[in-house]
A = this chain, B = another copy of it.
Amino acid sequence: MTPVKFYFDFLNQASRSLYILLEASKIPFEAIPISMVKGEHLTGEFRDKVNRFRKLPAITDHGYQLSESVAIFRHLAREKLVPEHWYPHRHLGRSRVDEYLAWQQTNMDVACTDYFQQKWLVPYLQKTRPSDNAVNSASKQLEHTLNDFEELFLNSRKFMLGENISYADLSAICEIDQPKSIGYNTFKNRNKLARWYEAVREELGPYYTDVQKEFEAKLKLTNDAAQGEKQAQAVKQ
């Protein structure tokens, strides 16, 4: 079987969740890292040969190009051997996963991405300090969204759908890691969220911790490079 080509950047949450799904499901794939901060996904070559949307993550599967992480997830679930628990037929589990993923796209993903951009990405790209106003406003939106997540999707059960982990859990933890990894106080007054987070982390084991380590190393490396550049500038002046 020709392996799926998977284009990704660990700085991006959906890249991490799909990478973990591919690994945990043992789907043969060729991992092709693309640097978003260097703009490698914005080139004409990437658009023409990989992905007309110029977005990450992306796949090509036997020459078929596909974008949008939720579409890639469903494509894998249909075309490859993805264990049933990730997207279960039983008890209308698929409808529940679909409902969460749609909610995530206009709520969780917007809030986590905005906080990450205002606090980390925009300052990095523009070589400035984060704007207090922008970070405060992103922080309030995130607060609100995490409360909604707890209230609408978590319950007394171990995972969102019950005793088994699904792609909804995997996708959500990678979203939440976006602000968490740059210092956001995710679990303050959120015991239910903290319990769920630990359960998901434990269930995913090394598939998750390996990717998470690479994500954090990449954050640190990028920060250090920016810091080094600043010091070099200061010496020059």
Contacts and interface: CB of A to CB of B under 8 A. Distances in A.
Interface of A: 52-53, 64, 66-71, 74-75, 78-79, 92, 94-95, 98-99, 101-103, 105-106, 152
A103 B105 CA distance: 10
A152 to B, nearest CB: 6
How many copies make up the complex?
Answer: 2
B78 A95 contact: yes
Given A52-B152, A105-B102, A106-B105, A64 B92 contact: yes
Contact of A95 (B53, B69, B74, B99): B74
Interface-centre pick from A52, A70, A98 (highest chain B CB count, 10 A):
A98
Q: Please report whether the interface of chain A is mostly helix, strand, loop or mixed according to DSSP.
A: helix
Nearest to A65: B99
A137 to B, nearest CB: 18
Interface-centre pick from A67, A71, A101, A105 (highest chain B CB count, 10 A):
A71
Nearest to A106: B105
A102 B68 contact: yes
A94 B74 CA distance: 9
Contact of A94 (B78, B95, B101): B78
A168 to B, nearest CB: 11
A102 B53 CA distance: 12
B95 A75 contact: yes
Contacts of A79: 92
21 contacts: A53-B152, A64-B92, A66-B99, A67-B103, A68-B98, A68-B99, A68-B102, A68-B103, A70-B102, A71-B95, A71-B99, A71-B102, A74-B95, A74-B98, A75-B92, A75-B94, A75-B98, A79-B92, A102-B105, A105-B105, A105-B106
